[in-house]
Amino acid sequence: MSSLADGEYEDANPVVDTRVQDRRDRRVARRAWDPRAFVSLLLLAVDLTVLDMTVGSVHGPVRLVLGLVLGCFVPGWSIVGLLKIGNGWLEIGLTVAVSLALLMVVAQILITMNAWHLVLLEEVTCEVCLPSLIWQSRGRRRARRQVR
């Protein structure tokens, strides 16, 4: 044997080792935590909970807090999350800004048309944002299927 220490073996086929390492890297990448999908899943849970509470006419402090989270984050993330900007603070700021702007514009249109109803606005907001949140919450799994 050459200059190898005891217990070390010379690699007979380096191509096989790179394939094994590639497989390991793919497995680790699959298990990697995707913060974008986690936020989407969290907002999806908020969206569905608020929708259930609104349809069921449940009132109280929990609905108030979840309604504020819905109004400040869900409509904006449904749009900004799809852009995948990559700067977390910018995405948070844009999410809040877009959410509030959308709600103000839609509320003004409803008031102008004499069709203002807050509960209906909440239900429609939940239902319109639902497809985007579902799509984004499946982000890592969708990417995994495309790699295979």
pLDDT in tens, 35-80: 889 999 999 999 999 999 999 999 999 999 999 999 999 999 999 9
Identify whether 91 is part of a domain: yes
Gap between the Cα atoms of 23 and 21, Å rounded: 5
Tell me: pLDDT of 146 over 60: no
Identify whether 4 is part of a domain: no
Domain count, the chain: 1
The reported pTM is 0.72
DSSP letter (8 states) at residue 56: T
Q: What is the mean pLDDT of residues 83-95?
A: 93
State the amino acid at position 10 in one-letter form.
Answer: E
Identify whether 13 is part of a domain: no
Judged by average pLDDT, the poorest of 31-40, 77-86, 88-97 is 31-40
Identify whether 114 is part of a domain: yes
Q: Which residue is listed with tokens 């995405």?
A: 91
Full domain range(s) for residue 54: 34-147
* SS3 category, 58: coil
CA atoms within 13 A on the CB side of 47: 24
Identify whether 21 is part of a domain: no
Are residues 80 and 135 in contact, defined by beta-carbon separation less than 8 angstroms? no
Torsion-angle region of residue 37: left (phi > 0), alpha (psi -120 to 50) or beta? Answer: alpha
Q: Which two tokens stand for residue 75?
A: 């409509």
Identify whether 72 is part of a domain: yes
